[in-house]
């Protein structure tokens, strides 16, 4: 690296905190571009290295908190700005006042996690040595796990997800999971910042650089071997037909549009029908409105479509159960099943609901209406493996549920495929649908189980058990995807067996080394 650049970097490190804070916000924002759909991975390495370089110069808790907070604020603000689009959809005018909170308050809230944990790191490891760097990596990794699990969790855009831009490294999630990959990614991405810090003993830099190169190389080697040597096989007797109707969110629940929306699903389903092969037709989240469920005319129309395709239909549906008396009805974001023997059988109910979208946390104290406009939804019973005659068993995930790695499958009965139905039409042409797809790809990598993803719009896909999209529909485009159902990998993945134990092991090993080396002057 040219000495002139290094000198400028050292001068910037010595600048006033108020000068560095906007730089950190910008670096965090640039780092977010390493996520889907751009996958500009070098920006994460640049951003994190300069982030650590500035953090290393912090002299007190206030500086550490502000440094971590501003970098994270830029990262979450750029990575999640699109969430506010849901409040701009026609019909949601009553929620426009919430828009600033969605695009500003959420990034602020999420930024508190790394800011708090890196402040703790400063308290434990105030000396600028190898322990401080290891603590930096460990505590950001811990903060990512906490934000992904605490208060129902929000593990969106974990740093490890950036590796979908380089699939061999992404395969490491099958061993150590997304949180383990996130922790080690933080180390890889910030190691250059540690190497550039002045007044560090050369031995400590050699140790850290060697460890980073070794683990990155081993990860790439493992991933390459997994991609090369895992044979993808298919259920030759089962055809999947994914319907992406691309219905504008503003038209989805208008009474005068319901019949047209239904006929759009039917017409796409009947296109290129092949009665000689068993077909699973999949409609996206809430494709069936309440009035159409158990409606005789609708069931007859669906049965005709099923007969043409020699098919069964799995469709997202909004189910309503009436209650006795004058109480409010019960709403279910559900998956329904149709066949020539069954009409509108509800086989799964979404269990992990969207806060403020499908229910209001602490509703007794927060008198707001949920954005979904149907009142509070009822929760389902959690991950389930569904067995339907003549098709392989599967585990359904409805929209938001697919972002939680620890809630993907029922551990008592492993499914043969994962079904994700979603409606990303709320977010328009934005990074959101692509980021959502990326997390479904990681669920395949982690479990070794293929994922079939059906979206109202963006992005329906066939995802093989290595996380590769073999077919993908374009965002904001009416589409049909046809193909054979992939089979899961022959062996269970390490992560599917041990869950977060590998992440906790890495966390403890690096943490113990940080504590052990805290007062070792020869590595200062």
Which residues participate in catalysis according to the annotation? 285, 350, 399
Residue 30 phi, psi (nearest 5):
-65, -35
Q: With contact defined as beta carbons under 8 Å apart, do 287 and 298 qualify?
A: no
Q: How far is Cα 32 from Cα 28, in angstroms, rounded to an integer?
A: 6
| CA atoms within 13 A of residue 351's CA, in its CB half-sphere | 16
Q: 404: Cβ–Cβ under 8 A, 6 or more apart, which residues?
A: 148, 153, 155, 352
**Angle formed by the axes of helices 17-31 and 61-80, to 10°?**
30
| Of the candidates 360, 419, 366, 351, the residue with the CA atom closest to the CA atom of residue 391 | 419
In angstroms, how far is the first alpha carbon of the chain from the final one?
23
Sign of CA dihedral 216, 220, 226, 232: positive
Alpha carbon of 306 to those of 70, 237, 380, 417, 467: distances in Å? 54, 17, 28, 22, 30
| Of the candidates 402, 476, 470, the residue with the CA atom closest to the CA atom of residue 435 | 402
Burial class (CB in 10 A: 0-12, 13-18, 19+), 211: middle
Q: Where are the alpha helices (DSSP H) in 32-105?
A: 41-56, 61-80, 99-100
Separation of CA 481 from chain center? 22
Alpha carbon of 491 to those of 33, 72, 168, 386: distances in Å? 34, 38, 18, 21
């Amino acid at each position: 690296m040219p000495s002139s650049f290094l000198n400028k970097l050292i001068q910037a490190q010595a600048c006033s905190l108020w000068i560095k804070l906007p730089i950190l916000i910008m670096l965090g924002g640039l780092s977010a571009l390493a996520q889907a759909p751009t996958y500009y991975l070098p920006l994460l390495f640049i951003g994190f290295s300069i982030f650590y370089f500035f953090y290393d110069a912090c002299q007190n808790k206030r500086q550490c908190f502000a440094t971590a907070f501003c970098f994270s604020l830029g990262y979450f603000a750029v990575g999640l700005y699109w969430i506010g689009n849901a409040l701009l959809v026609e019909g949601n005018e009553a929620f426009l006042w919430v828009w600033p909170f969605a695009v500003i308050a959420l990034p602020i809230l999420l930024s508190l996690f790394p800011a708090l944990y890196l402040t703790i790191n400063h308290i434990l490891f105030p000396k600028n040595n190898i322990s401080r760097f290891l603590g930096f990596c460990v505590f950001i990794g811990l903060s990512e796990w906490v934000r992904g699990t605490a208060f129902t969790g929000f593990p969106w855009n974990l740093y490890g997800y950036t590796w979908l831009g380089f699939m061999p490294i992404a395969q490491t999630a099958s061993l150590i999971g997304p949180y383990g990959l996130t922790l080690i990614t933080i180390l890889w991405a910030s190691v250059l910042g540690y190497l550039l810090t002045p007044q560090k003993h050369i031995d400590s830099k050699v140790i850290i650089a060697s460890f980073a190169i070794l683990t990155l190389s081993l990860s790439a080697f493992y991933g390459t071997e997994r991609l090369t040597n895992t044979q993808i096989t298919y259920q030759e007797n089962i055809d999947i037909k994914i319907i992406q109707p691309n219905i504008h969110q503003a038209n989805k629940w208008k009474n005068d549009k319901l019949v047209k929306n239904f006929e759009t699903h039917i017409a796409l389903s009947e296109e290129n029908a092949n009665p000689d092969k068993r077909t699973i037709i999949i409609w996206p989240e809430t494709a069936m409105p309440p009035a159409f469920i158990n409606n005789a005319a609708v069931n007859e129309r669906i049965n005709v479509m099923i007969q043409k395709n020699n098919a069964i239909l799995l469709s997202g549906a909004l189910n309503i159960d009436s209650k006795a008396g004058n109480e409010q009805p019960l709403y279910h974001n559900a998956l329904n099943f149709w066949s020539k023997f069954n009409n509108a059988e509800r086989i799964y109910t979404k269990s992990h609901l969207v806060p403020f979208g499908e229910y209001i946390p602490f509703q007794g104290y927060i008198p707001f209406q949920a954005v979904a406009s149907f009142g509070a939804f009822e929760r389902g019973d959690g991950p389930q493996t569904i067995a339907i005659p003549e098709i392989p068993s599967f585990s359904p995930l409805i929209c938001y549920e697919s972002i939680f790695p620890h809630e993907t499958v029922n551990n008592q009965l492993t499914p043969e495929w994962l079904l994700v139905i979603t409606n990303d039409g709320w977010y328009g042409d934005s990074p959101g649908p692509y980021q959502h797809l990326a997390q479904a790809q990681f669920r395949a990598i982690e479990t070794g189980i293929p994922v079939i993803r059906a979206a109202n719009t963006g992005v329906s896909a066939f995802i093989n058990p290595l996380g590769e999209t073999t077919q993908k529909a374009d965002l904001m485009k009416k589409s049909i995807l046809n193909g054979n159902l992939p089979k899961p990998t022959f062996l269970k993945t390490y992560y599917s067996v041990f869950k977060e134990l590998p992440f906790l092991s890495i966390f403890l090993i690096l943490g113990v080394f940080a504590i052990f080396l805290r007062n070792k002057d020869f590595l200062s």
